[in-house]
Structure 1
Amino acid sequence: MPSISSMVAIENIKHWIAEHPSLSSFLKFFLWITAIFLLMHWARIFLKKNLPDNSVKYKSQKGIEIIGYILIGILAISYFTGNIKDFGLAVGLLTAGITITLQELILSIAGSFYIFFVRVYKPGDRIEIHSIKGDVIDIDSIYTTMMEIGEWVSSDNYSGRIVKLSNAFVFKGPVYNYSRDFPFVWDEFNLPIKYGSDIELAKQLVISVAQDLLSEYVSASKSNWKQVVGKYYIEDAQVDPTLAITLTDNWIQFNLRYIVDYKKRRSTMHLLNNEINNRILQTKGKVLLSSSTIEIVNIPTVNISDSSNKQ
């Protein structure tokens, strides 16, 4: 049995709450919000433990987060307008009041829905947005989190910096996606071949190496490219390795263009250069790499006089 003092305290609290209805409504609203956040937290933990696939696990947790925020929004409107029928009016008044002060936040939230429904990019994609390039590792209601690549690090290696970028930037400029629809990119490099080399042998050598090392990428990219051509208004493209030759003042420049997995540009270029160099060495001088040369046409005569002999 509760004591008389505790019963008196309870009655006093009830009386005080009855005298302050607005505070009572706020406390109830706070308790409901707390309950929703707790349910969201427990649901995320449950899904994290019971879903085996990381992709499904990530999407389901983000879905729980969106549903929770929608419930909180509906609850807030119903509490502070007094009637859920006033939903449209309340939203209009609320939007008019905060559009200017929270413009960036609103754009970020709208951007998160745009990214999710239009599928501009998803976690795991490599993108470049607002001059920042990296792999997407998380997307929430306000920010896209990326593991940065490039900057002071050559090629497409991670710099080690994690970048948080506002979702509003999807409305402010282009978004370059390296992996959506067509997870390959074209790459190229130049080889300086010395004049006097066996050019036909050099061409066969370079193309042979490219075909041997890139056959897996070529065959996989052909099926992907057909899907891109069928989906978009775009002309067909050459995905087999191609070689172009340019005559320069110092050497014959070989330009090798090829297709490669967007995450393996650096390693593939290393393999190609290494194997081409080995094949050139095996030609025993028939094919030689060149370097910059300077030809001195005429050396001017310089007269040096000793002023001490004139004295």
Structure 2
Amino acid sequence: MFESLDALSLNLPSEIVVSDSLIGLIISSVILITAVLILRALAARFIRQKIESYELRRRWLVQSRNGLILFMALGLIFIWGQELRTLALSVVAIAVAFVVATKELILCVMGSLLKTGAGSFTIGDRIQVKEFRGDVIDQNLLATTILEVGPGQLIHQRTGRLVVLPNAIFVAEPVINESYTNDYTLHVFTVPFKREDDWQAAQKAFLKAAQRHCQPYLEEVRNYMNQISRHRGVEVPSVEPRVTLQVPEADEIHLVIRIPARAFQRVQVEQAILNEALTGILSPVEP
């Protein structure tokens, strides 16, 4: 036991080194505090003896005390000014190092505040950020989790992959919310044809199929879009199925089909229209 104590004493420093400047600062501080305490006692004694009014005496006691405390604080700042400046520089250096080390975390928090304040999306919405696209299933202060949909922007099937997006991505990248209208949506898909194909007949076939499949709920979609227009103050889009043309290449014709659909049934409606229209085009009925 005594041997362990001896070993411990050997590891302790024999003396604590204190610089002369620090001793001088401590002595100056003690002198200042002592002088202020003496002045306060003398001032309080003088006020109690010379002022008879209770209210005035109490006011002068409080004012003299506060004035002496302010004087003592200014004196200590003057005495320790150089050390305080050194400490401030050290604190700033530590703060800068902390910001640099935690920059990504700070950006994640800022991104979370940004998407929450802007109301960019909520749980269940289908969003796209850069090349990432999917349904939001979870979000917290640092990250947002989506179930990936794709591949590409025209496919609406889940890939089975889970994507965790750091919220920092929302600070610098735009967010596309495909579930802006919630219950119903205007769904767009493209069918390419060669210029020499009979794309005129295909255009008529797709329009006819789209009108037939969308007719049962077309009035519901129209009423819903009117409600969205009144609530959000935006122009009401036409909900009628339509087929427009695009010419991306000199030898290609693209049919762009836009249909109204329930948000959870757009893939089924798209496939039904494709099957009906393409079957009629590829296998025309003999007269």
Change in CA separation of 1:193 and 1:223 when aligned onto 2, cut-off 3 Å:
farther
Is the 2:206–2:277 Cα contact (8 Å) retained in structure 1? yes
Instruction: Specify the code of the residue in structure 1 equivalent to 2:166.
Output: S
Q: 2:101 maps to what in 1?
A: 101
Q: Where do residues 1-40 of structure 1 align in structure 2 (5 Å cutoff)?
A: none
1:207 corresponding residue in structure 2: 207
- How far 1:213 sits from its partner (Å)? 0.9
Q: Which runs of 5+ in 2 are unaligned?
A: 1-90
State the alpha-carbon separation in 2 of the partners of residues 230 and 143 from structure 1. 34
What residue number does 2:139 align with? 139
Residue 214 of structure 1 deviates from its aligned partner by 1.5
Q: Is the 8 A contact 2:194 2:251 kept in 1?
A: no
Mapped contact 2:203–2:255 kept (Cα < 8 A): no
Which amino acid in 1 is paired with 2:267? Answer: R
Q: TM-score, normalised by structure 2?
A: 0.52
Structure 1 residue 133: deviation in Å? 0.4
Please state how far the C-alpha of 1:159 moved relative to its aligned partner: 1.7
In 2, distance between residues paired with 1:154 and 1:196?
Answer: 23
Q: Which has the larger radius of gyration?
A: 2
1:185 aligns with 2:186: yes
Q: What is the rounded CA distance, in whole Å, between the counterparts of 1:263 and 1:166 in structure 2? A: 27
Deviation of residue 194 (structure 1)?
11
Distance in structure 2 (CA, Å) of the matches to 1:245 and 1:152: 21
SS of the aligned residue for 2:135 comes to strand
- Percent of pairs identical after alignment? 23
In structure 2, the residue corresponding to 1:146 is in which secondary structure? strand
In the TM superposition, residue 119 of structure 1 has moved relative to its aligned partner by: 2.6
CA–CA distance in 1 between the matches of 2:120 and 2:253? 43
1:253: how far off? Answer: 7.5
Q: Is the Cα–Cα contact under 8 Å of residues 178 and 185 in structure 1 kept in the other structure?
A: no
**Count of paired positions:** 193
- Cα deviations across residues 54-108 of structure 1 (Å, max 9, x unaligned)? xxxxxxxxxxxxxxxxxxxxxxxxxxxxxxxxxxxxxx98976633321221121
Does 1:274 find its partner at 2:275? Answer: yes
Alignment partner, residue 112 of structure 1: 112
User: TM-score, normalised to structure 1's length?
Assistant: 0.49
Match of 2:150 in 1: 150
Query: Residue type of the partner of 1:267?
Result: Q
Change (3 A) 1:230 1:274: same
What value does the CA root-mean-square deviation take over the aligned residues? Answer: 4.2
> How is 1:183-262 mapped onto 2 (pairs within 5 angstroms)?
183-190=184-191, 203=204, 206-216=206-216, 218-232=218-232, 234-244=234-244, 256-262=257-263
Q: CA deviation at 1:239?
A: 1.3
Alpha-carbon distance between aligned partners in 1 of 2:150 and 2:162, rounded to the nearest angstrom:
12
Structure 2 Cα separation of the partners of residues 114 and 202 of structure 1 = 44
- Check 1:130–1:154 CA distance in 2 against 1; reply closer, same or farther (3 A cut): closer
- How far apart, CA to CA, are the structure 1 residues paired with 2:112 and 2:246? 48
- Per-residue displacement from partner, 1:125-184 (whole Å, max 9, x unpaired)? 111113200111111221111111223898122222211111121111101111133551
1:220–1:96 distance in 2 versus 1, CA, 3 Å: farther
Partners of 2:144 and 2:244 in 1: CA distance: 41
Q: Does 1:128 align with 2:128?
A: yes
